[in-house]
């Protein structure tokens, strides 16, 4: 069944077969030196017949230029993260660089171990996709292994490059939409305030509130952890108020889904009794009933840009300021004007 598996051919084999020196082979393989067309062809042929593949380990041992990057993602099961990851992979594979993926949630390993893993691999840089957790601790340990670019997160103090979407603007827009429908008694389910996105979104909501003549400080806000379960819990808390809020503005889709679940449980209709909006626009959100109104971020694009920024940082040592990516609000069925109660 399993063949004896002989060891793969090396450059030396190629050189021998093509009757040239080792260095010549290397030169043609990466265009790094002059070689006569006739000989070049000889080695190309040899490569073909031997089915030669360069040994990346050996290469990496010598090279300087970036050929593998690390990526840290909190949770692959979250579609948003998955899409960002795809974006990164795409950008990387276009440049033939390898990305080593660290998914801590899956491995339940402490962040310290992740950092070690990355350093052992001598990754040239890392893309850090910020998640539900706190990061400051890990970030600096990781920064030892190379340049970092953040995705979907910004850390104010440090000047770390970050690729983010216009969270604030999108948040303002979606909140404004809710208010335009006539809602005055609204509440917010926020994200973890340690995260930039959570703070930005909240700020955006408050801008919209102020713009509509509401007192932002009067609007109840409870922060969750961006997970469905906490959305469910917080919705229960918020909807217990009297008078009951007619709209719940959620800082991400998972929270919104949790809120919808809670409504389903207690028999509140969405949107007739409670309007709900989310953020992220996960693919699954449009499958819900009612289909969730949400703000979409260009997840793949963010991943792609992040990788590009990292390459730029690696090549040039500096990365030009990147514009925040646009968000768009997708109006669907989970919002309607508040119904006259009784």
Partner DNA sequence: CACTGCATCCGAAACGTTTCACTAGTGTCC
Partner DNA sequence: GGACACTAGTGAAACGTTTCGGATGCAGTG
279's torsion region: left (phi>0), alpha (psi -120 to 50) or beta? beta
Question: Which of 189, 183, 212 is CA-nearest to residue 335?
Answer: 183
Task: Give the strand pairing for 328-330 and 294-296.
Answer: antiparallel
Residue 108, by phi and psi: left (phi above 0), alpha (psi -120 to 50) or beta?
Answer: left
Euclidean distance between CA atoms 140 and 320, whole angstroms = 22
Q: List, as own/partner pairs, every contact residues 281-289 make where C-beta atoms lie below 8 angstroms and the sequence separation is at least 24, other chains included.
A: 281/253, 281/330, 282/78, 282/79, 282/80, 282/253, 282/254, 283/79, 284/79, 284/253, 285/253, 285/256, 285/257, 286/330, 286/332, 288/257, 288/260, 288/334
Residues in 48-77 that interact with a second copy by CB under 8 A: 51, 53-58, 60-61, 76-77
Q: Does 311 bind DNA (CB under 7 A)?
A: no
DSSP for 204-229, written as a single string: HHHHHHHHTT--GGGS-EEE--SSHH
Binding region for DNA (CB under 7 A) out of 17-25, 156-164, 170-178, 204-212: 17-25
Query: Can you give the length of the chain in residues?
Result: 342
Beta carbons of 224 and 230 less than 8 angstroms apart: yes
Does position 312 interact with a second copy (CB under 8 A)? The reply is: no
Q: How far is the CB of 10 from a second copy (least distance, A)?
A: 11
Distance, in Å, from the CA atom of 154 to the CA atom of 199, rounded to the nearest integer, reads 11
Stretch near DNA under the rule CB under 7 A, chosen from 35-43, 74-82, 191-199, 219-227: 35-43
In the complex, what is the shortest distance from the CB of residue 340 to a second copy, in angstroms, rounded to a whole number?
A: 25
- Residue 61 Cβ vs DNA, minimum distance, rounded to whole Å: 4
Question: Is residue 289 a contact residue for a second copy (CB under 8 A)?
Answer: yes
- For residue 146, state whether it binds a second copy (rule: CB under 8 A): yes
Using CB under 8 A, which of the segments 99-107, 168-176, 216-224, 271-279 binds a second copy? 99-107
49 binds DNA (CB under 7 A): no
328 binds, among a second copy, DNA, none (CB under 5 to 8 A by kind): none
Residue 301, interface with a second copy (CB under 8 A)? no
Q: Which span sits near DNA by CB under 7 A: 53-61, 160-168, 280-288, 305-313?
A: 53-61
To DNA, the closest distance from the beta carbon of 315 in angstroms equals 15
C-alpha 256/C-alpha 171 separation (Å) is: 14
Which spans of this chain sit near DNA (rule: CB under 7 A)?
A: 7, 10-12, 20-24, 26-27, 29-30, 32-36, 38-40, 52-55, 58-59, 61-64
Which spans of this chain sit near a second copy (rule: CB under 8 A)?
A: 1-2, 5, 8, 51, 53-58, 60-61, 76-77, 79, 82-83, 85-87, 89-90, 93-94, 98-101, 103, 105-109, 113, 116-117, 119-122, 144, 146-147, 159, 257, 260-261, 264, 283-284, 287-289, 317
């Amino acid at each position: 069944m399993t063949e004896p598996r002989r060891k793969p051919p090396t450059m030396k084999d190629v050189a021998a077969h093509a009757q040239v020196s080792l260095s010549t082979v290397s030169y043609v393989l990466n265009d790094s030196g002059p070689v006569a067309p006739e000989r070049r062809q000889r080695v190309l042929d040899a490569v073909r017949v031997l089915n030669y593949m360069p040994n990346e380990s050996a290469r990496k041992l010598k090279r300087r230029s970036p050929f593998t990057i690390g990526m840290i993602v909190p949770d692959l099961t979250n579609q948003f993260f998955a899409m960002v990851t795809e974006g990164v992979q795409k950008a990387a594979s276009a440049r033939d660089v390898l990305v080593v993926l660290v998914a801590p949630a899956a491995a339940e390993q402490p962040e310290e171990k992740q950092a070690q893993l990355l350093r052992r691999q001598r990754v040239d840089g890392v893309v850090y996709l910020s998640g539900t957790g706190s990061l400051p601790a890990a970030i600096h340990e990781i920064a030892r292994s190379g340049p970092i670019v953040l995705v979907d997160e910004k850390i104010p103090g440090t000047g770390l490059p970050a690729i983010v979407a216009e969270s604030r603007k999108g948040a303002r827009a979606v909140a404004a939409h809710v208010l335009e429908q006539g809602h005055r008694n609204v509440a917010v389910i926020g994200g973890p305030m340690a995260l930039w996105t959570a703070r930005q979104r909240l700020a955006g909501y408050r801008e919209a509130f102020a713009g509509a003549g509401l007192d932002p400080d009067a609007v109840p806000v409870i922060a969750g952890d961006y997970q469905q379960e906490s959305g469910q819990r917080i919705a229960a808390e918020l909807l217990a108020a009297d008078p009951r809020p007619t709209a719940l503005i959620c800082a991400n889709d998972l929270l919104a889904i949790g809120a919808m679940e809670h409504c389903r449980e207690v028999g509140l209709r969405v949107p007739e009794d409670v309007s709900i909006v989310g953020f992220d626009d996960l693919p699954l959100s449009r499958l819900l009933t009612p289909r969730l109104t949400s703000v979409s971020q260009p997840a793949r694009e963010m991943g792609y840009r992040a990788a590009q920024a990292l390459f730029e940082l690696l090549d040039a040592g500096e990365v030009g300021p990147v514009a925040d990516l646009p968000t768009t609000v997708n109006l669907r069925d989970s919002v309607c004007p508040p119904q006259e109660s009784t």
